[in-house]
Amino acid sequence: MRIEDATGRSRPHQPKLLQRAFVAAAIGRVLLGAAAYVAPQSQTRMNAVPDQMLSTELRYLIRIFGGRAIALGVGYLSSDEPNRRRWQRIGLMVDTLDNVNAAIELNRLQRGDPRVRTLLRLIAITGPYAALGAAGVISARRPST
């Protein structure tokens, strides 16, 4: 089955399992984003960052992350299927940039630095989101039968 996107182009219908995974990911974005926005220390504690490192600036940046996550999740959940494809691509771009940022920072650290473990925890969150986004793009390009 094919559907028309916002530009009028015909696209293959995504498998139900993939659709459900994107809905679950969007809900996860909203929940994680809300926790970050309301209680920035939840994010630092989840990633084993000592409380004394939670500065005003870090709280601000965590809330920016939270707002972005909420916007991505709500944008996806409130869209019809053709527009959800657009939100999938936007999410893929954001998640890919997050992972590139982590790779840049990992490259700056020395082996044995405790911050490596923290970055790897963050990649464990953003990596699967990027992989899901890539799966969505691949499924959109797959010819229908």
Q: What is the pLDDT of residues 73-125, one digit of tens each?
A: 999 999 998 899 999 999 999 999 999 999 999 999 988 888 898 889 889 99
Asked whether residue 91 is assigned to any structural domain, the reply reads yes
- Displacement of CA 134 from its chain's centroid (Å): 12
Residue 62 lies in a domain: yes
| pLDDT higher at 124 or 8 | 124
For the chain, the domain total comes to 1
Residue 9 has pLDDT above 80, yes or no: no
- Note whether residue 5 is domain-resident: no
| Average model confidence (pLDDT) across the chain | 89
Cross-strand partners of 12: 2
CA distance linking residue 23 with residue 17, whole number of Å: 10
- pLDDT score at 7: 58
* Domain assignment of residue 7, yes or no: no
2 within domain boundaries? no
Residue 113 lies in a domain: yes
- Residue 6: inside a domain, yes or no? no
How large a percentage of the chain has pLDDT more than 90?
A: 66
Strands (E), 28-90: none
Asked if pLDDT for residue 39 goes beyond 50, the answer is yes
The boundaries of the domain holding residue 67 are 12-141
In a domain, 56, yes or no: yes
